Amino acid sequence: LHVETQLGDGVAVPVDGNPAHYLISVMRVKPDDIILLFDGRSGEWAARVRDMRKRDLVLECISQTKAPEEVPDFWLCCAPIKKGRIDLIAEKACELGVAKLQPVLTRRAVVDKLNLDRLHAHLVEAAEQCGRTALPELGAMVKLDALLREWPDDRWLFFADESGGEPLNETLRAHPGAAAFLIGPEGGFDPAEREAIRAVGKAVPVSLGPRILRAETAAIAATAAWMTLNGD
Ligand code: SAM
C-alpha cells in the first residue's frame, strides 16, 4: 500500500482502490485493527484503522516498524523466458535480496515481450512474504547489445556460460564488489553474443557446473551463490 505520510496523519485510502478493497473485503479489517504498510522504499509502518467510511478507509500511521533496508548491490540480468518461469525468477530474486532485475532480449529468446506489471506484482508479493521493505528495481527490457554498450565500468558482469567458464565460487571470491549475473534464454546465447559479452571489460565467464541447467535454475543458483559470499 503506497503510503506517503507522517506519524499520526490520517491517510484516506479510497475504497475502490485495490489495497482498501483487499483490507475490507478479504482481510475484513475493523476500526482499531493494526495493519502493516510498506511502500517498497521507505521501510514498514504499523497503522491503525481509524475510520471506515463509505468511500474510503482512514488509516493512522502509529509507528515505523522497519527502517528502509540496504540490499547488496547485485543485479540479475536474464533473458525473458516462458511466463511461469520468469515469474519464478522474479519471486526468488526478490527473496534472495537482488537489488535489480533486468530483462535482456537475446537472439535465441523464445519470448520477446514481458508483462512488467505482472512481474512487479510477483516482486511485491515476494517482498511481503519474505519481509523485504525495499523492492528490487525492475528494469524495462533491453536488447543485449544495448546492455553491453552501456555496461558500467564499476560492476562485474558474471556471464553464466554453459559452454565453459571459470569455476563459480573461486571466481566470485576473486571479484568482490558491485556485480551482476547474466543468464541466457532456453536456447542459450549464440556464438556472436558470447563473443560480444566476453569483449566487455568487466565480463567474467562463469561455469555453473557440468550440467546444462534450465535458465531459471541457473538464475537462482547463481544469485544464491553470489549472495552467500556477499549478501547481508
Ligand atoms: N543453449 C543451451 C544448451 O542447450 O546447451 C541451454 C541454455 S540454458 C537452458 C539457459 C542459460 O542458463 C544459459 O544460457 C546459461 O546462461 C545458463 N546455464 C545453464 N547451465 C549452465 C552451466 N552449466 N554453466 C553456466 N551457465 C549455465
> Taking 80 as the threshold, does the pLDDT of residue 31 lie above it?
yes
Residue nearest to atom 19 of ligand 1 (CA): 213
Is the C-alpha dihedral spanning 31, 37, 39, 41 positive or negative?
Answer: positive
Q: Determine how β-strand 10-14 pairs with β-strand 56-66.
A: antiparallel
Residue 184 CA, closest ligand 1 atom number: 14
Q: How far apart are CA 85 and CA 88, in angstroms?
A: 5
Tens digit of each residue's pLDDT (9 = 90 or more) over 124-164: 999 989 999 999 999 999 999 999 999 999 999 999 999 99
- Predicted pLDDT of residue 158: 98
Between 11-15, 69-73, 158-162, 216-220, the lowest mean confidence (pLDDT) is in: 11-15
Pocket mutation for ligand 1, best pick of 159, 207, 212 (most atoms within 8 Å of C-beta): 212
% of the chain surpassing 90 pLDDT: 67
The answer to whether residues 211 and 178 touch, using CB atoms and an 8 Å cutoff, is no
Residue nearest to atom 2 of ligand 1 (CA): 188
Tens digit of each residue's pLDDT (9 = 90 or more) over 59-85: 888 998 888 888 899 999 999 998 789
**Spacing, Cα 119 to ligand 1 middle (Å):** 22
% of the chain surpassing 70 pLDDT: 91
> Taking 70 as the threshold, does the pLDDT of residue 15 lie above it?
no
* Cβ–ligand 1 contact at 110 (below 6 Å): no
* Cβ–ligand 1 contact at 187 (below 6 Å): yes
**Spacing, Cα 184 to ligand 1 middle (Å):** 7
For residues 20, 25, 27 and 31, what is the CA-based torsion angle, rounded to 10 degrees?
70
Phi and psi, residue 11, nearest 5°: -105, 115
Name residues whose C-beta falls within 8 Å of residue 140's C-beta, 6 or more positions apart in sequence: 103, 116
Q: State the ipTM, two decimals.
A: 0.97
- Predicted pLDDT of residue 199: 97
Q: How far apart are CA 18 and CA 203, in angstroms?
A: 43
Neighbours of 112 (CB within 10 A): 11
